[in-house]
Amino acid sequence: MITVKVNGTEVQKYKEKKKLAEVISELYPKDSVLNSVKLNHKSLQIADIQNVDLAENQLVELTFISVSKSILQIADSAIQFLDWVEAQNLDEEIFSILPRIVSGFETLESAILSIRQFRKDVELKEEEEDKNTRFIEINSFIVLTNKIEVVKRIKEICGIYRKIFLRILETEGV
């Protein structure tokens, strides 16, 4: 028997084999986001759920959170990343930590796209244009190895992202 709990409450039992993705799909609450998945008390990466076949004597624990709470978590993580960037000694270490910063900015862009699915007014048009301009400038300054200009543009981009994510935190109720 496959037992499924959602947010700590047993909600379903299956006698036959099932795909984990099908189970999640059947039980997905409206206006919620899948936050975590455990199989027999062990955490699974959400990206791996498509590959899991369930069989007898397995316990599936699903945790869903509201869209609003998920957006708050994303925005909070974004602010933490921006705090980290600003705490770095950019003037001295910019080229050694630049790959991490760029990767973080890509993640922030992904986060904005995800939030846009639920909230249309995430980013002002001017902010998006400003960011895009700064990214182009950063790329050209990196080629020229102009450390001062790269640091300046990164700080500007951090400021733009901070405004966006603080506005998200404010509109989601913090």
Read out DSSP for 31-47? TEEEEEEEETTEEE-GG
Every domain of the chain and the residues it spans: 2-65, 69-171
CATH assignment of 2-65? Answer: 3.10.20.30
* pLDDT value of position 79: 97
pLDDT along the chain (174 residues), means of 10: 95 93 93 93 91 92 93 94 95 89 92 84 80 80 76 92 92 72
pLDDT at position 136, please? 81
Q: What is the pLDDT of residue 77?
A: 96
Query: Which residues have CB under 8 Å from 7's CB, separation 6+?
Result: 62, 63, 64
Contact between 132 and 45 (Cβ < 8 Å):
no
